[in-house]
């Protein structure tokens, strides 16, 4: 079972590593895995956090120990591995 926690400052692994198939303002077709979201600011924050146009997959994602690990690099590796394991086809 995963324990919930707060987002790590200057991480943004969940805004870079996974693919998003829902439209994002500025990315109408979503985004591929490994590509930073266009809504990611220079200080690695979501420019549309809390706004209705933020995709449901983003607003529903919660930071958790198993996903975030001990640092940003570990989070990117974990999310990237999950992306690969759940890729269709």
Report the alpha-carbon distance of residue 68 to residue 78 in Å, rounded. Answer: 8
How many separate domains does the chain show? 1
Per-residue pLDDT of 44-89, as tens digits, reads 999 999 999 999 999 999 899 999 999 999 999 999 999 999 988 7
Structure tokens at 87: 């890729």
Query: How many residues does this entry show for the chain?
Result: 89
Structure tokens at 77: 């590796």
Report the alpha-carbon distance of residue 78 to residue 56 in Å, rounded. Answer: 21
Per-residue pLDDT of 18-46, as tens digits, reads 999 999 999 999 999 999 999 999 999 99
CB 11 within 8 A of CB 44: yes
Domain coverage including residue 66: 1-89
CB 39 within 8 A of CB 25: yes
pTM for the complete prediction?
0.86
């Amino acid at each position: 079972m995963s324990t919930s926690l707060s987002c790590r400052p200057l991480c943004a692994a969940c805004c870079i590593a996974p693919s998003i198939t829902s439209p994002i303002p500025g990315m109408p077709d979503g985004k591929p895995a490994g590509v930073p979201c266009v809504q990611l600011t220079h200080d690695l924050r979501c420019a549309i956090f809390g706004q209705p146009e933020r995709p449901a997959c983003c607003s529903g994602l919660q930071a958790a120990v198993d996903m975030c690990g001990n640092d940003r690099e570990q989070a990117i590796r974990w999310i990237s591995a999950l992306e690969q394991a759940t890729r269709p086809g």
